[in-house]
Structure 1
Amino acid sequence: MTAPEPPGIPGAPGNPGGCPVAHGGGLPGGLPVGVPLTPLYGPALAEDPHGLYARLRERYGPVAPIELEPGVEAWLVLGYGELLELTRNEALFSKDSRRWRVPAEGRLAPDSRLIPMTSWRPTVLNLDGAEHQRLRTAVVDTFAQIDHRQLRGTTEAAANRLIDSWGPDGTADLVTQYARLLPLLVFTQLLGLPTEAGPHFIRLINDISDSGAESIRANEEFHAIVVDLVRRRRAVPSADLTSWLLAHPAALSDDEAVHHLVVMMVAGNETTICWIGNTLRLLLTDRRFRATLTGGRLTVSDALEEVLWRDPPTQNFPGRWATGDTVLGGQYISQGDLLVLGLAAANADPAAQGVSAAAQGSLGGNRAHLAWGAGKHVCPAQQPARIIVETAVETLLHRLPDLQLAVPASELTWRPSPWARSLNALPVLYSAFTPPRPPAPERPAWTPPPFPDTALNPSDSTPSAATSTARTPGSGRQARRPWWNSLAGWWSGR
C-alpha cells in the first residue's frame, strides 16, 4: 500500500517525538531531519540495551529511526504487534537485501561491517516465496530427523570432556572454556564430521573471527572442509544432517547444501553460545534461580525461557526491506528502507503476551516471546538448540553443584554487538569434581564412517567438482565469495 504524505507537524500521529519528518527530502524515507539518529552500536548498546530500547519507544513509539553505522540509517521495530506484522507480510517486507536503498545509492562503504549481516545469499535467510519454501522445507525436515535422546547423549559427552579438561585449581571461564566450545563439538558430529574435527573447527572459526593474519587461510580451509563433506556424503550417505539434507526431495545442489550447512554452523553456533552463557549467568546471579541448585521451585527450563524473554541470544536482526512506500507503527516507511527486527525490545513491549508473568517475577513456561523470530522465517532449529543448551547447563550443574561467580555480578561485561547478546566472560569458582554419569549403553554417541586424513587437511586433497566449478573463470557462474569470513566475528561483536 502507498502511504499519504506525512504531516510534518511536531507531535503529529506517527511522530510522537515531535520531530519534523520528511518524505523524499533530507534522509531517505520518513526518517527525522535535523535530529541525530540514535546509534545501534557502541557502549550504550552493550551496557544498557533495555534502557536504550525504552528511551526509543518513549520518544518514537513502536518503530524508531536508528543509525547502524555512521551515515547508514534504518528503522528498529520495537513493538510486539508491529514485529509480527513485519514478519508476516512478505508482500510489503521482503527478506531480499538486494532491495536496500543504501548500497544502491553508493552509501555503504566497501569495508562496512554491515556487509556480512546484510549481503544477499541464496539461502533461506534471504529468499521469499516458493524458493524460500523449497529450501526451508528441506532444512526443517532435516532437523526433524535428529534423534533427541541421542543428541542429549552427544551433548552430555562433549560437556563432560570439556569439564574434565579444566585444571585442578577450581576456576574456569564458562564463556571461553565452555559455552564457546561446546556447540561446535556437537555440531560437527551432527553434520557427519569425525569427533576430532570439533576442536579443529573451533580453531578455524576463532581464526576467521579474529580477522588476523590467519583469517584468509582459515576461511579457505573451513570452506574446503564443508565442500569436501558435501561431496563425500553425496557419494556415501550416513545418518547425519549433511546426508539428510542432500537426500531431501527438494534436491539441493552441492552449492546450495554448502551454503545452508555454513548457515547452520555459523548462526547456530553463535546463538547457542549466547544462550548457554546467558542462562548460566542468570542461574548464578538471580536469587530466584540460585535456589534451583538446591532444589528450588524454578527449574533450568524456566531459566532458559526467561533468557529468551529478557536477554535473547539474538537481540536484533536485519531484517526486512520495504518493497514499497507504506506505514508501520505510525511511521512512514519508504521503498528500499531497512527494518531491523528488535527481538529483545519487542519482548519488553508492554503489549506483549506474558506481561502479567513478568510482573510476578518469572516468565518460565511462557513461550509467546519472539526470540526465534516469527512468520515464515521463524528459526527452524528451536528444538535441537533447546536440547543442546538445556543439556549443557544441566550437565555443568550436576558436575559442579557448588558453582559460584568469581567476581561481583556488576563486573560482568557484554560484547558490543548490535545483533548478539553475549557476555565477554563468566569467571566461576568451584571446589571439586563429581564423577560424570555414564552414557546410556543402548544409545551411543554418533559414530559416522571414518574420513581419510584429507577430510581434516583439505589442502592436501584434490579440489572437488563443486569447488572447481565455482572458481573456474568463464564457467558462467559467479566466483564464490567467502561471505562467512567475518560473519561470526561481527555477529558476536569481536
Structure 2
Amino acid sequence: MAAAQQRSPRLTPTPLYGAGLDGSTLPALYERLRAAHGPVAPVLIAPGIPAWLVLGFTELLQLARDEHSFSHDPRNWRLLREGRVPPDSPIMATVDWRPALLYADGRQHRRMRSSVSAALERVNGHALRRTVRATAEQLIGSFADSGRADLVPHYARRLPLRVVTQLLGLDERAGQQLVQAALGTAAANADSANASDRLSGILTGLIAARRAAPGEDFISILVRHPAALTDEEILHNLVVVFVSANQPTVDWIATTLRILLTDPALGPSVAGGRLTVDDALDQALWRHPPVHNCPARYALRELRFGGQEIHSGDMLLLGLAGANADPAVRPPGGCPVTGNRSHLAFGAGPHACPAQDLARLITRTAVETLLHRLPQLRLAVAEEELSWITSPWAPSPAALPVRLGPVAGLGPGALTGR
C-alpha cells in the first residue's frame, strides 16, 4: 500500500474492481468517494495495488496539464519499479510501457504526436463521412428486414473497425483479418495473446509494405513523416490510435443511442429538430463518457494535491466521469447546458485525444444514418432491463435490443445492394 495510505488509517482505499461496477453504479460510487475524501480519493485498482482517483474537475485539468509534476510513463510507477506488481496482474495490460505517444512525455511525446497528428489531419472528412454512411447502410441492411436487432453487436461494435480498415488502405480480406484480430485482442480472454500476436503481425506487414511502396494512406504518412518513427514506434502508435480508440467510439455510438431511446425529453427533441445529434453526442459524453477512468499519471515529486499527500511514484487515475459530475462545474439540475463541450471525456492537456474530431464525425454519422433510415426505432425491452458491461474503465451498454419499424428513404434491397 502506498506510504501516504499506510500512515493514515482513515484513508482506507476503495476497490475500483470487481462485480457490480458498471454504468448504473459507478456514478454513485464517485459521489461517495467525493464526499469521503474530496477531489482525490484513495482506491485499489487490483488486489494490493493502490492508486489515487482524481474526481475534481479543476484537479483533473491540473493533473493532465502539469508535465513537470506528473508523468505518463509507467516506468515512473514506484510499485512497478519495486517489483510489487505481479507480471500477470490485470492492470499490466493497460499500463505496460510501449514506445507510443500514450506512454511518453515531453520531447518524445511531441515527436510521436506530431506524426500521428499529421496523419490524422490528412484524413479527408468528406470522404470519411461517405465511408461511414455507406458502412452504416450496409450494416442496417443486414438486419433491417428482421424487424428487430441488438444495436450493440449488430451495429455499434461493427462499424468503427470497418471504417478504420479503409483508412489504413486495406482490401476487404485484409480488413476482415485485422478486424478479427483487433476484436480478439480487446476480448481479454484466453485467446487474447494469440490475437494480439496476429494483430502485430498484420500491422508489421503493412508497415513493411508501405516502406517499400508508400501511398497516401495513414500508415504511409507515418512512414515518411520527418519525425522518423521506427517501425516499432509506428506499430505501437497504430495500436494506440486505432485499436485502443475503437472501443471508445463503439461505446460513444451505443451510449448515445441508448440515451436517445430512453430519455423522454432528448429523444423527441432530436427527432423533432429542436436539438441536433451533436447535442445528443455531448449529453452522452457528459453523462457516460466512453472511458470513465483512464490510467494513468505518475507523480514525479512529493506534493500535496487535492487535499492529499502524494508521494513520488504514486499512480493517479484520471476520473473523467467523476470530474464531469463535479458539483463545482455541473450546471444546476445535474445536466449540462446544450452546446457545452467543456467536459473532459477526451482528456486535456498535451495528451488530449488527437483523434477526437474524427471520432465525432464517425459517431455523428453513424447515429444520424441510423435515425434517418429507421425513424420508428423503439426499445424492445423495458429500460430497466437494459444492462451495462461491468468495468471500472469503460462501462458501456451491454445490449440495446430494438424494434425497427419500416426503413425510410430507400427502395427494396437498396441497403444491401440487391
- Per the TM superposition, whether the score is higher than 0.5 is yes
Q: Does 1:28 align with 2:3?
A: yes
Q: Does 1:408 align with 2:408?
A: no
Counterpart of 2:414 in structure 1 is none
Contact 2:297 2:316 (8 Å CA) reproduced = yes
CA distance in 1, matches of 2:374, 2:358: 24
- AA paired with 1:430? L
- After superposition, the C-alpha distances for 1:189-238 in whole angstroms (9 at most, x for unaligned) are 11121144343333223333445564444332211110111111122222
Counterpart of 1:461 in structure 2 is none
Give the direction of change, closer, same or farther, for the CA distance of 1:339–1:394 in structure 2 (3 Å limit): same
Counterpart pick for 1:175 among 136, 152, 161: 152
Contact 1:305 1:363 (8 Å CA) reproduced = no
- After superposition, the C-alpha distances for 1:429-472 in whole angstroms (9 at most, x for unaligned) are 112223459xxxxxxxxxxxxxxxxxxxxxxxxxxxxxxxxxxx
Give the direction of change, closer, same or farther, for the CA distance of 1:62–1:140 in structure 2 (3 Å limit): same
Contact 1:293 1:397 (8 Å CA) reproduced = no
- After superposition, the C-alpha distances for 1:20-72 in whole angstroms (9 at most, x for unaligned) are xxxxxx74234642664211122342131111001100110010001111111
Counterpart of 2:39 in structure 1 is 62
Counterpart of 2:396 in structure 1 is 422
Partner-residue secondary structure (3-state), 2:34: helix
Q: Does 1:43 align with 2:19?
A: yes
CA distance in 2, matches of 1:80, 1:389: 25
Give the direction of change, closer, same or farther, for the CA distance of 1:392–1:167 in structure 2 (3 Å limit): closer
Give the aligned length: 409
The structure that is helix-richer by fraction is 2
- AA paired with 1:41? Y
Partner-residue secondary structure (3-state), 1:29: helix
- AA paired with 1:387? L
Counterpart of 2:298 in structure 1 is 321
My pick for the range that moved more, 205-214 or 33-42, is 205-214
For the aligned residue pairs, the C-alpha RMSD in angstroms reads 1.9
User: 5 Å matches for 1:346-385?
Assistant: 346-352=323-329, 355-356=330-331, 359=333, 361-385=335-359
Contact 1:29 1:337 (8 Å CA) reproduced = no
Counterpart pick for 2:70 among 82, 85, 93: 93
- AA paired with 1:376? P
Counterpart of 1:143 in structure 2 is 120
Contact 2:298 2:314 (8 Å CA) reproduced = yes
1:87 to partner: Cα distance: 1.2
Counterpart of 1:115 in structure 2 is 92
CA distance in 2, matches of 1:217, 1:93: 34
List gaps (5 residues or longer) in structure 1.
Answer: 1-25, 438-494
CA distance in 1, matches of 2:383, 2:177: 33
List gaps (5 residues or longer) in structure 2.
Answer: 412-418
State TM-score, norm by structure 1. Answer: 0.79
Residue identity over aligned pairs, in percent, reads 47
State TM-score, norm by structure 2. Answer: 0.93
Counterpart pick for 2:319 among 342, 364, 370: 342
Partner-residue secondary structure (3-state), 2:146: coil
- After superposition, the C-alpha distances for 1:402-455 in whole angstroms (9 at most, x for unaligned) are 001111111111112111131111111112223459xxxxxxxxxxxxxxxxxx
1:297 to partner: Cα distance: 1.3
Partner-residue secondary structure (3-state), 1:172: strand
CA distance in 2, matches of 1:307, 1:340: 21
Contact 2:325 2:334 (8 Å CA) reproduced = no
Q: Does 1:274 align with 2:251?
A: yes
1:133 to partner: Cα distance: 0.7
My pick for the range that moved more, 30-39 or 153-162, is 30-39
Q: Does 1:297 align with 2:271?
A: no
Contact 1:30 1:333 (8 Å CA) reproduced = no
- AA paired with 1:383? D
Contact 1:186 1:198 (8 Å CA) reproduced = no
Contact 1:84 1:374 (8 Å CA) reproduced = yes
- AA paired with 1:328? F
- AA paired with 1:29? A
Give the direction of change, closer, same or farther, for the CA distance of 1:113–1:219 in structure 2 (3 Å limit): same
1:329 to partner: Cα distance: 0.7
